[in-house]
Amino acid sequence: MKIAVECKSPLLQKSLELFLEKYLSSTKKCDIVVRDQECLNDDRCFYIGSGENVDLLKPFSKSQLILALESRYKELGGSESEEEPYSHTECMDFSILEKRIELLTQEYQSNIIRAVKAFYEK
């Protein structure tokens, strides 16, 4: 699945580029074009907005976006057998969560050690 992003909103443009970095392609070579303006003549158009006739309502999460785009890709005749650069297991990047848990664990450990030292120093 190859996706191009063409949004008038710079914030939405950048957010979508970050969410879809592994799928990004040029407009000419893409399977789907994500836009924040309604487009009537293009089957490849994926419209994100807050009104009616949208493909994805704002606000949305990264997983909602990917699932909606995969669904549209299947509708357009794309097959999942193609080698996808972004599988469902890779979609969940736990590195940030792991770092956060590690920091919390270290903080908890230092608090316990401090409490034990304070208890025995009395």
Q: Is the pTM of this model over 0.85?
A: no
Show the tokens assigned to 122: 């009395």
Are 71 and 35 members of one domain? yes
Are 59 and 31 members of one domain? yes
Are 25 and 60 members of one domain? yes
Structural domain harbouring 79: 3-85
- Cβ(62)–Cβ(40) below 8 Å: no
Q: How many CB atoms lie within 10 A of CB 78?
A: 16
- Tally the domains of the chain: 2
Are 10 and 61 members of one domain? yes
Please give the chain's pLDDT, 122 residues, in tens: 899 999 999 999 999 999 999 999 888 888 999 999 888 777 889 999 888 888 889 888 888 999 999 988 988 887 654 444 444 444 556 777 888 888 889 989 999 999 999 989 87
46, burial (CB in 10 Å: exposed 0-12, middle 13-18, buried 19+):
buried
